[in-house]
A and B are shown apart, each in its own frame.
Chain A
Amino acid sequence: KAGVTQTPRYLIKTRGQQVTLSCSPISGHRSVSWYQQTPGQGLQFLFEYFSETQRNKGNFPGRFSGRQFSNSRSEMNVSTLELGDSALYLCASSASPGQGSYEQYFGPGTRLTVT
């Protein structure tokens, strides 16, 4: 079974630009969660999507948004980039959190550098 895939793997953007990251979950998984990882803050939850609906959102500004498609693939968007948005963005998929299994499997991440 193929794992979680994320594209692109690396991105360099300039302050003020916007960026879109993509995530394809493990086949059959319907939940996709996004996390931001930085050396200072560690792994922080951004949001989670299930059946195309955002079910939970972390404490991040409205510049961070996401969506999920009918095939469970997900995208996240960051608008008006700031230097502090430089981080590793991780996507994780899980089967059916509502049925008691909350194990999440992570992709390799997208390394975003804002200059």
Chain B
Amino acid sequence: EDQVTQSPEALRLQEGESSSLNCSYTVSGLRGLFWYRQDPGKGPEFLFTLYSAGEEKEKERLKATLTKKESFLHITAPKPEDSATYLCAVHSHGSSNTGKLIFGQGTTLQVKP
């Protein structure tokens, strides 16, 4: 059964204190791994797609990396506006060509000024 686990569940950082969020996955063949940001009361906002081990994507203070078993979302010098819940999701061969994503439980990040 496809499974996604995110850690830690919650993370508190001081402004400027860099850190990483982890997403471990077990899937029947990875078609894609996705990172989303979700603010309270809103829908998830798409950040990155990673397709193969070794791939990296960057956007402002965020950098996502992928290995065969996990993905990391590195946050460099975070600011209070980076506070949100970060969700990881996978699309596997088990979902064939349909749009079924399996989500982790998320990491809630709080950045204090």
Contacts and interface: CB of A to CB of B under 8 A. Distances in A.
Nearest to A94: B99
A55 B43 contact: no
Contacts of B31: 100, 102
23 contacts: A32-B99, A33-B101, A42-B103, A43-B44, A43-B87, A43-B103, A45-B101, A48-B99, A55-B98, A56-B96, A90-B44, A94-B99, A97-B97, A97-B98, A97-B99, A100-B31, A103-B46, A104-B101, A105-B46, A108-B42, A108-B43, A109-B43, A111-B41
Interface string B18-36: 0000000000000110101
B43 A90 contact: yes
**Chain A: interface secondary structure?**
strand
**Of A44, A55, A94, most B-chain CB atoms within 10 Å:** A55
A102 B99 contact: yes
**Of A33, A97, A107, most B-chain CB atoms within 10 Å:** A97
Nearest to B104: A42
B7 interface: no
Say which size band chain B's interface belongs to: 20 to 34
B100 interface: yes
B32 A106 contact: no
Nearest to A105: B46
- A-B complex: 3 closest residue pairs judged by Cβ atoms: A106-B43, A56-B98, A43-B103
B91 A45 contact: no
A98 B97 contact: yes
Contacts of B101: 33, 43, 45, 92, 102, 104
**Of B49, B91, B100, B106, most A-chain CB atoms within 10 Å:** B100
A45 B89 CA distance: 11
Contacts of B100: 33, 45, 48, 56, 58
Interface in B73-107: 87, 89, 91, 95-106
A24 interface: no
B91 A42 contact: no
